Amino acid sequence: TSLQHLAPLHGVLMGKEIVENWKEVEQFQARPDDVYISTYPKAGTTWMSEIVDMIFCEGDQEKCRREAIYNRVPYLELRIPGSPSGVEQLQVAPSPRLVKTHLPIHLMPESIWDKNCKVIYVARNAKDVAVSYFFFHNMVKALPDPGPLDHFLNNYNKGNVSYGSWYDHVNGWWEKRQEYRILYLFYEDLKENPKREILKVLHFLEKEMSDSLVDKIVQHTSFQEMKNNEMVNYKTIPNEFLDQSETSFMRKGIAGDWKNHFTVAQNEIFDEEYNRQMAGKNLHFRTEINVNI
Ligand code: A3P
């Protein structure tokens, strides 16, 4: 696999264009009422972003989109050729701003902590993220060719992928969750009981909402609804950037899909690596859940 599109930044591999323009992100000026949605890639960024957007729009996204100049929830560090960068979009966005990011905690712009901003972190189990990320690599032209799954899993466990090591990411954010205003959530919990988790988000954001509006958000942000929603399923992005002809961005949306892709041998190697890297950490993930749908 070539890593031609990636470059290291303080020990973390990232898109070259992000690294080359890093100063812009480093010097980003936060506002106290910003809300950040932070994740390792494929952990449920789009899902949480839609939930938080619905909360801020009080269910009326049409209105919010009419008022937005660019994306409602831009990626802080993202740069797409020919479009304003995440930072440029945010500089002209009205408050309160909603911001997505995949940055490991040690690379977050200092201003976000200085302003004591709130961050919602979503973590997802390592195996499902690996599978989702593998398929995503085959969709996104700007990411390196993942090669066969074996090869990709090896790179993934070593942190030789865009945004670096899943282990460093989830642990780094976990360790700081009490030092800063961080709500640390799990994809599997959201899947198991979305209403319970959305109520946690509302509490964290100090927002009150009628029960019927909460139910509307649960409904609107279900996997099926989002898969069919052109505003969030990225179907409008041209194939040359995001090729959804083989797999959809809204691919499966479950906990435990890794079982359909890992061989017994791959799973054993993965478990060994996982246990080594998570040893002594007080952070536990579920790799499957029972959901009654
Ligand atoms: P899968 O590839 O396992 O299906 P991100 O937004 O961070 O890139 O994460 C994408 C993953 O989240 C994909 O996982 C996608 O299907 C899943 N996802 C997106 N919206 C979801 C929802 N409403 N419910 C459950 N999973 C969702």
Q: For residue range 56-88, what is the model confidence (pLDDT) as tens digits?
A: 999 988 888 888 889 999 999 999 888 899 999
Q: What is the mean pLDDT of residues 238-244?
A: 87
Q: What is the mean pLDDT of residues 223-227?
A: 96
pLDDT at site 2? 44
Catalytic status, residue 203: no
pLDDT at site 4? 61
Separation between Cα atoms, residue 48 and residue 124, nearest integer Å: 12
Average pLDDT of the chain, as a whole number: 95
Q: What is the pLDDT of residues 7-57, one digit of tens each?
A: 999 999 999 999 999 999 999 999 999 999 999 999 999 999 999 999 999
Q: Determine the number of helices (DSSP H) and then strands (DSSP E) in the chain.
A: 14, 6
Which distant-in-sequence residues (6+ apart) come within 8 Å of 256 by Cβ?
128, 287, 288, 289
Confidence of residue 238 (pLDDT cuts 50, 70, 90): confident
Q: Is the pLDDT of residue 141 over 90?
A: no
Q: What is the mean pLDDT of residues 230-247?
A: 87
pLDDT at site 286? 98
Ligand 1 center–CA 45 separation, angstroms: 8
**Does residue 139 contact residue 1 with C-beta atoms inside 8 Å?**
no
Length of the chain, please? 293
- DSSP classification of residue 53: H
Beta bridge partners of 233: none
Separation between Cα atoms, residue 233 and residue 213, nearest integer Å: 22
Residue that has been written with the tokens 């007080």 in this structure: 282
Which atom of ligand 1 sits closest to the CA of residue 251?
4
pLDDT at site 134? 98
Ligand 1 center–CA 114 separation, angstroms: 31
Q: Out of 10, 102, 151, 169, which one is annotated catalytic?
A: 102
**Does residue 131 contact residue 261 with C-beta atoms inside 8 Å?**
yes
Residue that has been written with the tokens 């989002």 in this structure: 226
Q: What is the pLDDT of residues 187-224, one digit of tens each?
A: 999 999 999 999 999 999 999 999 999 999 999 999 99
Mutate to test the pocket of ligand 1, among 47, 75, 163 (most ligand atoms within 8 A of CB): 47
In this structure, the number of other CB atoms found within 10 A of the CB of residue 290 comes to 8
Q: Is the pLDDT of residue 280 over 80?
A: yes
Ligand 1 center–CA 43 separation, angstroms: 7
**Does residue 139 contact residue 242 with C-beta atoms inside 8 Å?**
yes
For residues 290 and 41, the model is more confident at: 41
**Does residue 187 contact residue 122 with C-beta atoms inside 8 Å?**
yes
Q: Whose CA is nearest to atom 23 of ligand 1?
A: 223
Separation between Cα atoms, residue 163 and residue 14, nearest integer Å: 5
Q: Is the pLDDT of residue 293 over 60?
A: no
For residues 68 and 253, the model is more confident at: 253
| 106-110, 142-146, 231-235: least confidently modelled range | 231-235
pTM beyond 0.90: the answer is yes
What percent of the chain stands above pLDDT 90? 85
Helix 149-158 and helix 126-139: axis angle, to 10°?
120
Q: Is the dihedral of CA 100, 101, 106, 111 positive or negative?
A: negative
In this structure, the number of other CB atoms found within 10 A of the CB of residue 284 comes to 8
